[in-house]
Amino acid sequence: MMVRIDDMLLPSRRSAIKYEDRSGYWPKSEDGTVNVPYTFVSNYSDLHYKLIKSSMAEYTTLTCVRLIPRTTETDYLNIKSSEGCRASMGRVGGGQNLALDSTGCMYRGIIQHEINHALGLKHEHVRNDRDDFITVMYENISPDEWYNYNKADTDNLDLPYDYGSVMHYNGYSFSSNGNATIVPKPDPNVPIGQRVGLSPLDVAKINRLYDCDVPATLLNEKQGYVTSPNYPSEYPDNTHWFWLIRVPSGQAAVTFLDFDLQSSPYCESDYINIYDGPTKDYSRLVWRGACGTDTPWPVIASTSHLLIEFSSDSSIAGRGFRAEYHSVQCGGTFYNLTGTITSPGYPDNYAPNLNCSYTIRAPENYIIRFTYTDFEVQYLKWCPLDYLFLTDDVYKYGPLCGTRLSKTITTETNILKMNFVSNGSYEFRGFKASYVMVPSGSTGKKKSSFLYGLEGGEKKK
């Protein structure tokens, strides 16, 4: 028999899993990973599958936990779209339900909240020391719901109280009269109850609970800085580290402010790699890594995730790097040999007041063939309002608007920069385009013309 406590399902034979009770946790493999098998017992949309798997992927980079598709394992998670957002507490044996309703639970923070319960984590606001950090306003809570605020006998793993935990209730949960149910101390205005995703302290808890030694840091603010170890002094030998950037909204972007790594052919010695997602399984946003003293180009991920990998060998060291990360509303960086680019929201109308920057960068001695398959942007003579502007650092094309454009351009260089702008008046379908990188000299090319652009492109002054 299972007893529901809000979003946790606890076995009725015990009130909570004690941290020292290893039977309630998932076992560790010989290779140091903690495998948590799962299976989907409900159908989700492609977007929902993508969100769930992306949320799981953060654990792979930041912890030793691996959420893996079930094969023949006896103990596993049954992920289903029913019964709201709920999970059993810890490993209970057999196929245990993890409910993620497709109509109300499809948020990264909710998905990870329930996974954390399945890993054995309790709500932050029930810690045994919580009265030092919050006041529970029982007068604003129906007595039938008071049990959601019962303190637990917790091992806090020598980690600070985390107002920003994905496991914390918000300030108005279960309010019976519209007034606050949790008030932080000493500052009542401290934000609590976010569901954006794991906090750095959430990650630290999992790693201590499962004795993980993972060379990774989560950066989850809207903007901030990332530096190599010991920067601006020389970085240490034989270092391998990851920084997972996850901005609260928009797309993650990073701009390097200083860069000095050992130079080697194909960056085989010391290097950074940047990935367009939360793990190394996602596509790279730099070509064959980056090293030397040439500052890498700014990069924009396709989502809120961007992963930086840094590696050094045992020989020459440099000053390292310093970079700024931030959130942008749209844009992207493209290093794959082929790809597709669309305006935000395509094929639905793009949003007002956009300013989107895209960069396509091919390897040296390559050029870019860029082809429109659809184009519908608000038209006004000279395109002063909504427009697309392109340049390859030799020729510039645009501003471009309207609906009739030449199909293809071929660049003079290995770089194509794009800027898409909309104002606040009318919005249209936008654009869809594809590109392919080809060796320079492999094609006879003809400069493109645009009805509303500049004939053949205008050479950049």
Q: Report the CATH number of the 333-459 domain.
A: 2.60.120.290
- Please give the Cα distance from 303 to 278 (Å, whole number): 10
Assigned token pair, 50? 């993508």
Smallest Cα–Cα separation from 59: which of 127, 118, 100?
118
- Please give the Cα distance from 431 to 418 (Å, whole number): 12
Mean pLDDT across the stretch 411-435? 93
- What is the pLDDT, as a whole number, of residue 405? 67
- What is the pLDDT, as a whole number, of residue 208? 95
Domain formed by 217-328, architecture: Sandwich (2.60)
> Is pLDDT above 60 for 42?
yes
- What is the pLDDT, as a whole number, of residue 16? 39
- Please give the Cα distance from 79 to 220 (Å, whole number): 26
> Is pLDDT above 70 for 84?
yes
Give the model's confidence band at 456: pLDDT under 50 very low, under 70 low, under 90 confident, else very high.
very low
> Is pLDDT above 70 for 129?
yes
Give the model's confidence band at 363: pLDDT under 50 very low, under 70 low, under 90 confident, else very high.
confident
| Eight-class DSSP state of 405 | -
Q: What is the domain partition of the chain in residue ranges?
A: 2-124, 217-328, 333-459
The upper half-sphere exposure of residue 449, i.e. CA atoms within 13 Å in the direction of its Cβ, equals 2
Select the more confidently predicted residue: 21 or 235: 235
Smallest Cα–Cα separation from 355: which of 382, 390, 381, 331?
331
Kindly give the residue spans of alpha helices, DSSP state H, lying in 44-195: 46-62, 108-119
Mean pLDDT across the stretch 33-48? 95
Mean pLDDT across the stretch 431-460? 61
Select the more confidently predicted residue: 442 or 236: 236
Q: Number of H helices and number of E strands within the chain?
A: 3, 27
Mean pLDDT across the stretch 287-301? 87
> CATH fold of 2-124, please?
Collagenase (Catalytic Domain) (3.40.390)
**58, 114, 309, 427: which is the annotated catalytic residue?**
114
Beta strands in 377-454 (DSSP E): 387-391, 395-400, 408-410, 415-421, 430-439
State phi, psi for 24 to the nearest 5 degrees: -90, 5
Assigned token pair, 417? 């920069």
Select the more confidently predicted residue: 140 or 15: 140
Assigned token pair, 8? 């946790």
State phi, psi for 355 to the nearest 5 degrees: -145, 90
State the Rg of the chain over Cα. Answer: 26
Q: Is 58 helix (H, G, I), strand (E, B) or coil?
A: helix
> Is pLDDT above 70 for 1?
no
Give the model's confidence band at 406: pLDDT under 50 very low, under 70 low, under 90 confident, else very high.
low
**pLDDT tens track for 302-353:** 899 999 999 999 999 999 999 999 999 899 989 888 999 999 989 899 999 9
**CA distances, 292 to each of 14, 147, 258, 271 (Å):** 58, 59, 11, 8
Mean pLDDT across the stretch 51-73? 97
**CA distances, 372 to each of 184, 430, 433 (Å):** 54, 11, 4
Task: Judge whether 217-328 and 333-459 match in fold.
Answer: yes
- What is the pLDDT, as a whole number, of residue 297? 85
Give the model's confidence band at 442: pLDDT under 50 very low, under 70 low, under 90 confident, else very high.
low
> Is pLDDT above 60 for 448?
no
- Please give the Cα distance from 360 to 334 (Å, whole number): 5
- Please give the Cα distance from 186 to 190 (Å, whole number): 9
* Strand pairing class (76-80; 34-40): parallel
Smallest Cα–Cα separation from 411: which of 377, 435, 376, 387?
435
Is 364 among the catalytic positions? Answer: no
Please answer whether residues 138 and 150 qualify as being in contact, where contact means their C-beta atoms are separated by less than 8 angstroms: no
What does the mean pLDDT of the chain come to?
89
- Please give the Cα distance from 375 to 353 (Å, whole number): 18
Amino acid at 391: T
**CA distances, 229 to each of 233, 246, 318, 407 (Å):** 8, 20, 11, 48
> Is pLDDT above 60 for 38?
yes
- What is the pLDDT, as a whole number, of residue 424? 84
> Is pLDDT above 50 for 450?
no
Question: What's the predicted TM-score (pTM) here?
Answer: 0.85
- What is the pLDDT, as a whole number, of residue 10? 44
| Non-local CB neighbours of 294 within 8 Å, separated by 6+ positions | 259
